[in-house]
Amino acid sequence: TKGATRRQQHTTQQSHSLAMEEESIYNLIPHTEAPPPKAPLFKSRFHDPPPPRRDMGTMGPLHVARPEPTNYLRRGAGPMSQSALRTGSASSSTAAHSTRKSLAGGNDNSNGTASREHKTAKGPTPKRAELAKSMHAALPSPTTKNFVDANKTEALRDVPKKKLKEEFNYLQKKDYGEVPGYLHRVQQEIVEEKEYLEMQERERRQANFHGPKVRELSEEEKQDLVTALKAKWEKIRSVYVKMPMTVDTISQRMKKEEMENQMTSIEKDITALSKQHVYVHEEE
């Protein structure tokens, strides 16, 4: 009975907690899922151990002693103080003197070549009088030329400059807007060349034609033929217009078609005669 009572209480608590979770206002807020924990870094058992650590290998000693506050830099005890500089200059001059002495002593048998090499290339300092004399020689010599009179003479002898020519206004020309004469000549040459080529082509066709002889109709013959064809066409048209609108018999229909064919043929002939060059077979 106790176990049943406990189970019932546990079930009641779970149902109550679920009801509370469903009815809670915080359930409306979206919950972010926590990322899963990362797996531990893999380390191989065959990995080489790190090299032994060296003291002061890269950045100095590990532990540096702090300076004592009472042992500060005193006045006149620095590396750039007057006493240090005097001591350093004296020691350097002594070392240089000893070096020159050793070199001079070691090269006594070389006829003084080493000593000449160590001599300075500069000459002696010039005197004040010599320096003034050299500067006076470098200055230009004084002149007695009168620049005012020279400028006047040059201005009198100078030739005046020519004035710039005024720009010509092409809009005021006499032949402005007209066709140039050379264009007329070029156009005439083109027409003559075209006629010459047409004449050569006509002669070539006549020379290569092996059938019946042909000749070119003159303008008068073409006009006569066109006039005759127009009269014939007008005559056929007058008859064609007088025919009834409705054609019932076969003979009337055939006659109408024949007149239409004749008028169409006459129109084609008139169009052919309207060309610039017309050739006809010459009768023997």
pLDDT of residue 190: 94
Write out pLDDT tens, residues 248-281: 788 888 888 898 999 999 999 888 888 888 877 7
**239 in Cβ contact with 280 (< 8 Å):** no
Closest CA to 232 of 281, 197, 265, 195: 265
The whole-number average pLDDT for the span 8-12 is 62
Residues constituting the chain: 284
Write out pLDDT tens, residues 40-95: 888 877 777 777 766 666 666 667 777 788 888 778 777 666 666 666 555 555 55
Is residue 107 very low, low, confident or very high in pLDDT (cuts 50, 70, 90)? very low
pLDDT of residue 188: 93
Token pair in block for residue 49: 């151990």
Token pair in block for residue 242: 């007088």
Write out pLDDT tens, residues 14-37: 555 555 556 677 777 787 888 888
**Secondary structure (DSSP) of 42-88:** P--TTPPPPPPPPTTSSSS-SS-PPPPTTSPPPTT-STTSHHHHHHH
C-alpha to C-alpha distance for 197 and 208, rounded to whole angstroms: 16
C-alpha atoms less than 13 angstroms from C-alpha of 84 in its C-beta half-sphere: 7
C-alpha to C-alpha distance for 130 and 137, rounded to whole angstroms: 11
Q: Rounded to 10 degrees, what is the CA torsion of 266, 267, 272, 274?
A: 120
Write out pLDDT tens, residues 177-231: 888 888 999 999 999 999 999 998 888 877 765 556 777 888 888 888 889 999 9
Token pair in block for residue 39: 């797996």
Reduced to 3 states, what is the DSSP secondary structure of residue 261? helix
CA-based max dimension of the chain? 158
- Rounded to two decimals, what is the model's pTM? 0.28
pLDDT of residue 214: 73
Cβ neighbours of 271 (radius 10 Å)? 10
Phi and psi at 80, nearest 5°, equal: -105, 20
Is residue 110 very low, low, confident or very high in pLDDT (cuts 50, 70, 90)? very low
Helices 219-241 and 250-273, packing angle to 10 deg: 160
Query: With the C-alpha atoms ordered 221, 222, 226, 229, is the resulting torsion angle positive or negative?
Result: positive
In angstroms, the first-to-last Cα distance of the chain is 150
Q: Position of tokens 């017309």?
A: 278
Compute the chain's Rg from CA coordinates.
Answer: 65
Q: Which helix (H) or strand (E) holds 216?
A: strand 214-216
Spell out the residues 6+ positions from residue 277 whose beta carbon is closer than 8 angstroms to its own.
Answer: 198, 202, 216
